[in-house]
Structure 1
Amino acid sequence: MQGLLSAGREGGARLLLALFLQLQLSASTCPCQDPSLCNPISGSKDFEVFVFDVGGKTWKFYDWSQITTVATFGKYDPELMCYAHSKGARVVLKGDVSVKEIVDPFVRAAWIGQQIDLAKKQYMDGINIDIEQEVNKSSAEYYALTALVKETTEAFHKEIPGSQVTFDVAWSPECIDKRCYNYSGIADSCDFVFVMSYDEQSQVWTECIAGANAPYNQTLAGYDDYLDLGINPKKLVMGVPWYGYDYTCLHLSMAHVCSIEKIAFRGAPCSDAAGRQFPYSVIMNQANSSISGILWNEEQKAPYFEYKDSHNASHQVWFDNPRSISLKAAYVKEHGLRGIGMWNGNCLDYSGGSVARKQTEAMWEALKPK
């Protein structure tokens, strides 16, 4: 009996030692100089500023006095995680999976488990689910997608206390690009949805002419539609574009109407695929050499300019700037939305030149509802 007790004590001691060593190993793998920075961020801010980051080191120059969440869509950067945590900001994973596969509940469970393991390994604070696939209303995928969001949220909240689960939705709930999701169900099932109020010319059903990436009235009508579904405004974060589109004009009229090539997309006769995307930093440099200077379209409440390329072809460039973004940010305040964010934080010029610095500061400042 004494031998059994002794063996039991020795076994217990070995177990405690193993647990201690495991804790020591876990602590030593924290990439931050201050190990406490590997703890997840908890609590919520009154106003959410949600930033997508696609990699590199430009995050070092972001306005961290505003940021509450960074969604990492580039390579994992432990330095970014440590710095964000030092500023009280969450860092979350990007989540994507085939909607056809998640009809199987076992596949959903396995995928969720993998994301939680990765988040823990990288000391992350949650996940941003970015699934932009076609889904038919009331299909198996329709119900599976809502279930995925609900199950992911429950699992993350349980496994990583204080974690955040968000979902990216189109600029309108009206089956944009054939994404007929259960928007109210998804919003109810996660912490909030990020509304991607850009690429609004992905399906152009009227005349094929260049237009704003995120026209003011069309953008706000999308939020009205989400609210009409009964979605709580505190479940909506407005996304704005920090990039624009350069269109080659088949014909450019004196009234600044730019006819574009007809490139069909998901049933629509033309789309923004006729243009090329450029970040705000490139657009502002290009504007300096434009033939028109920066113009303003009052109907769409958006800036644009025109130039000619080396082949003498006319171009029209549409984008968002502090003026157009501020108008949309005012809606956020007026309607009590959860916050604002952008695709993506890397799009500005952080080179440090005086002109670039002023332009960059103005874009960050525009996120603050007046």
Structure 2
Amino acid sequence: MFLLLLFLSSLLVVYGTSVCPCETPELCRQIREERDFEVYVFDVGGKTWKSYNWSMVTTVAAFGKYDAELMCYAHSKGARVVLKGDLPLSYIVDQANRTAWITEKVNLAKSQFMDGINIDIEQAVETGSPEYYALTNLVKETTEAFHKEIPGSQVSFDVAWSPKCVDKRCYDYVTIAESCDLLFVMSYDEQSQIPGDCIAMANAPLHQTLKAYEDYLDLKIDPKKLVMGVPWYGYDYPCVNLSQEGICYIDKVPFRGAPCSDAAGQQKPYEWIMAQLSSSSSGRQWDDQQQAPYFYYKDETGQVHQVWYDDPQSICPKADFVKAIGLRGIGMWNGNILDYSDDPVAKQQTSRMWNALLGC
């Protein structure tokens, strides 16, 4: 009994106030090793992470409820698990609030044996506003605190698919990139602002997606700071009108100054899309201009829907681009939404989606 108490007290010294929940204490040690190539996974909860391709995964951003089992398993594979960090920007204009938030997150990461934090703000910011400077300072101060308190930890920041004030997110991208370890570029939801006709389009058209990386690099941001995020989901658009050419006109749903947006549709996971495709009226179609697949189906009321999504054929050239220009890596939103069942067709589809992250 004495030896057991001595062992537990030693753990408290090593790991602070929390007792390691893993089978061996070594699995609670934060991951410090840097990988040459990141495969960055967002996990939103549940246990589907058990079916991830762990031979590829380097970082998991835990956006669901804290799962000690996930942390232990990821560490056993040499992969990081990082916290989610978000809060109202109006709150952090005050330096004291900012410091308190950072201290809270560092302590939480320590108590949960996490390896860093992913800052996911996505709020509208005007250039030169108090929020603009507060956000920049938040990233810098968070990175400094995590690196000091958890040596080798990773601080990442999520940015829009383009640095050109998309969704009115006019951030100081250059300084933020210099301050943190990496930027996760959300190369999806690229129809969040539709300035022209309200029509359904690809979630992440190839040429538009790749051009935006040129815009990031034109800012002299180090390519090794950029991780490309690809979508493992699509959009289901009810067509208000369907032209003879197959153009799906959608409801006018404004967003942050644009008259139309992808909010006229519904986000659908890849698992749902594959099931719906098998019973669609059109079968899989391919758009050469946007380099993306789509299909049509009719709902129970007879209304025509157009579904745009990404699959291995549309993801592969993006992954090839990542390697060709030397980006830090690739990732997805999100890891949970493939079909991880034992169905043979589903297993093949899921395997191909994971493999597509490494290119054609």
- Decide: shared fold, TM above 0.5: yes
Given the superposition, is the C-alpha separation of residues 364 and 139 from structure 1 closer, same or farther in structure 2, using an over 3 Å criterion?
same
Give the partner amino acid of 1:59.
W
Q: What SS is found at the alignment partner of 1:193?
A: strand
* Distance (whole Å) between structure 2 residues aligned to residue 206 and residue 106 of structure 1: 44
Identity of aligned residues (%): 66
Change (3 A) 1:73 1:20: closer
Equivalent pairs, count: 355
* Matches of 2:18 and 2:102, distance apart in 1: 26
Contact 2:192/2:263 (CA < 8 Å) preserved in 1?
yes
Distance 1:35 1:250, change over 3 A: same
Residue 139 of structure 1: aligned partner = 129
Say whether residues 1:294 and 2:281 are aligned partners. Answer: no
Distance 1:262 1:277 in 2: 17
2:65 match = 75
- Tell me the distance in 2 between the aligned counterparts of 1:141 and 1:27: 35
TM-score between both structures, scaled by the size of structure 2: 0.96
User: What is the CA distance between 1:19 and its match in structure 2?
Assistant: 7.5
Q: Which runs of 5+ in 1 are unaligned?
A: 1-15
Residue 279 of structure 1: aligned partner: 269
Alpha-carbon offset, residue 369 of structure 1: 2.9
Q: Which has the larger radius of gyration?
A: 1
Residue 23 (structure 2) pairs with residue 39 (structure 1): no
Q: Tell me if the contact between 2:195 and 2:258 (Cα under 8 Å) persists in the aligned partners.
A: yes
Range that drifts further, 78-87 or 132-141: 132-141
Distance 1:255 1:158, change over 3 A: same
Distance in 1 (CA, whole Å) between partners of 2:41 and 2:12 is 34
TM-superposition CA deviations, 1:40-85 (whole Å, max 9, x none): 0012111000000000000000000000000000000000000000
Q: Equivalent residue of 1:50, what SS?
A: strand
2:205 is matched with 215
Q: Which amino acid aligns with 2:74?
A: A
1:269 to 251, 259, 265: 259
CA distance in 2, matches of 1:107, 1:297: 48
What one-letter code is carried by the residue in structure 1 that aligns with 2:116?
A: G
Say whether residues 1:148 and 2:156 are aligned partners.
Answer: no
Q: How far apart are the structure 2 equivalents of 1:75 and 1:284?
A: 27
**What RMSD, in angstroms, separates the aligned Cα atoms of the two structures?**
1.7
**Residues 295/20 of structure 1: CA separation in 2 closer, same or farther (3 Å cut):** closer
Q: Specify the SS of the correspondent of 1:346.
A: coil
User: How far apart, CA to CA, are the structure 2 residues paired with 1:352 and 1:82?
Assistant: 25
By how many angstroms is 1:334 displaced? Answer: 1.2
Q: Contact 2:232–2:334 at 8 Å: present in 1 too? A: yes
Alignment gaps of 5+ in structure 2: 1-5
Partner of 2:80: 90
Quote the offset at 1:256 in angstroms: 1.6
Q: Could you tell me the TM-score, scaled by structure 1's length?
A: 0.93
Counterpart of 2:13, as a letter, is: L
Separation in structure 2 between the aligned mates of residue 278 and residue 72 of structure 1, nearest angstrom: 21
1:28–1:277: structure 2 CA closer, same or farther, 3 Å change rule?
closer
- The answer (yes or no) to whether the contact 2:18–2:112 under 8 Å persists in 1 is no
- Whether the 8 Å CA contact 1:27–1:35 is kept in 2: the answer is no
Could you tell me which amino acid in structure 1 is paired with residue 157 of structure 2? F
4+ long deviations beyond 2 Å: 18-28
Query: Hey, what's the Cα distance between the residues in 1 that align with 2:197 and 2:114?
Result: 46
Describe how 1:1-370 pairs up with structure 2 within 5 A: 22-23=12-13, 29-370=19-360
Cα deviation for residue 21 of structure 1 reads: 8.3
